Amino acid sequence: MTLAELSKCYEAAAAPLRSRLRQLRQMLAQAETADEVWHIKRRIAELTPMLTQMNELADLTAHYYDRGYYRSEKYTV
């Protein structure tokens, strides 16, 4: 598997997370009790870093060999 192919896998894996976060934000707007709000916000807080990391890795693997591409120090050795 090449890095370009891996990038597509990261993008595909990010799609359900993006969809779920959108759904949770809609649920948050309709939440009635403080307990519901707390649980929804907690779940959003758990999923947001996952989506961010998926997006960063998709970008990194898509452009890894591009000349002049700045690689994040977070994912390099």
Question: Given a cut of 90, is residue 10 above it in pLDDT?
Answer: yes
Structure confidence at residue 66 (pLDDT): 80
Q: What is the pLDDT of residues 36-52, one digit of tens each?
A: 999 999 999 999 999 99
Mean pLDDT rounded to a whole number for the chain: 91
Question: Given a cut of 90, is residue 24 above it in pLDDT?
Answer: yes
Buried b / exposed e over 13-51, threshold 16 CB at 10 Å, is: ebeebeeebeebeeeeeebeeeeeeeebeeeeeeeeeeb
Rounded-to-integer distance, Cα 76 and Cα 5, Å:
19
Rounded-to-integer distance, Cα 4 and Cα 61, Å:
6
| Sequence ranges of the domains in the chain | 3-63
Question: Given a cut of 90, is residue 77 above it in pLDDT?
Answer: no
Q: Tell me the whole-structure pTM to 2 decimals.
A: 0.82
